[in-house]
Amino acid sequence: MKNAIVSGVIIGVLSGLWMFIMKALGYSPQTSGMSPVEYMAVLIPLVVLLFAINGYRSSDCNGKMGYLEGLLQCFKILLIGGAIAIAAAIIYIDEFGKEANLMEFSGRVFGALLVGVLFALGVPLLFTTNHNKVD
Q: What is the residue extent of each domain of the chain? A: 2-28+35-127
Whether residue 23 contacts residue 100, with contact meaning beta carbons closer than 8 Å, is answered with: no
**Residues in the chain, how many?**
135
Q: What is the mean pLDDT of the chain?
A: 83
Give the orientation angle of helix 102-127 with respect to helix 43-59, to 10 degrees: 30
pLDDT at 49: 93
Kindly state the DSSP code that residue 42 receives in the 8-state scheme.
G
How many C-beta atoms surround the C-beta of residue 35 within 10 A?
Answer: 13
- Out of 84-93, 103-112, 113-122, the most confident range is 113-122
The three-state secondary structure class of 65 is coil
pLDDT band at 6 (very low <50, low <70, confident <90, very high): very high
Residue bearing the bigger pLDDT, 103 or 68: 68
